[in-house]
Amino acid sequence: MLKFRYSEYEFECGTDEAGRGCLAGPVTAAAVIGPLRFGQENEANLIEKYFELLNDSKQLSEKVRFELRPFIEETAISFAVTHIYNVEIDEINILNASMKAMQESILKLKTIPNYIIVDGNRPLNGKLGMIQKNGKIFTPKETELLKSIPSTSIIKGDSKYVSIAAASVLAKTYRDEFMNLIHEEFPMYNWKQNKGYPTKEHREAIAKYGTTKYHRMTFKLLPDQLKLDL
């Protein structure tokens, strides 16, 4: 059963990412504070709906995820979403890009969290203020703020805590929207269906049509037996 809290802090934030293993498109992260209070009139129904539907977004259907998104956004104290695009992923690597997407989302929150829970097994502030040519460069003030907030990494946290599960849903739906949009530009890769993941169909399309401006060029786009002319 999902738990609402990990810490005793008032503004606890959960964060998660989506698209880390894809061959194309951004890695997308979300941060969510709350919900802490629903109001007496709707509290029971809202909590019931959360526990009934909200879970690790990978375990939910696309339809359910998009049904949950406005509910999450309406009840959260604060939420934010960040895309880190493929050019920057290639520049700083996918691990740093995933971490940075979560950090940027936290900085975008209207309410500053005083505790952060992160899906996974890596500390959120392991790498801060990375200098690069593309994307956001953290200011010293932003870096210090991120360092000052205590955080805990929770393995499979998206199936244990509401705020991480909510962040998982937001990250997944916003990324899926982006992939559906660029599918219209390059329909031969069928990103509307595979969302950029390394499916057989996606790799066969890369072998046939080559790469696009959305592909991650530092990733292994094709199996060893197939070569890509670049």
pTM (2 d.p.): 0.90
Mean per-residue pLDDT of the chain: 88
Specify whether the CB–CB gap between 222 and 228 falls below 8 A.
yes
- Asked if 33 and 79 count as a contact pair (C-beta separation under 8 A), the reply is yes
Please enumerate in sequence order all residues whose Cβ is within 8 A of that of 179, keeping only pairs 6 or more positions apart, or say none. 25, 191, 192, 195, 196
Pairing between β-strand 78-84 and β-strand 27-33 as defined by DSSP bridges: antiparallel
CB atoms within 10 A of CB 197: 16
Residue 1 makes CB contacts below 8 A (sequence gap 6+) with 51
Contacts (Cβ under 8 Å, ≥6 apart) of 57: 18, 65, 158, 165, 168, 169, 171, 172, 173
Range in 57-66, 172-181, 183-192, 206-215 with the lowest mean pLDDT? 57-66
CB 172 within 8 A of CB 20: no
pLDDT exceeds 80 at position 127: no
pLDDT tier at 185, thresholds 50, 70, 90: very high
- Residue 79's DSSP bridge partners are 32
The better pLDDT of the pair 140, 56 is held by 140
The CA-atom distances, in angstroms, between 93 and each of 73, 84, 99 are 30, 11, 10
Q: What is the predicted pLDDT for the residue at 122?
A: 85
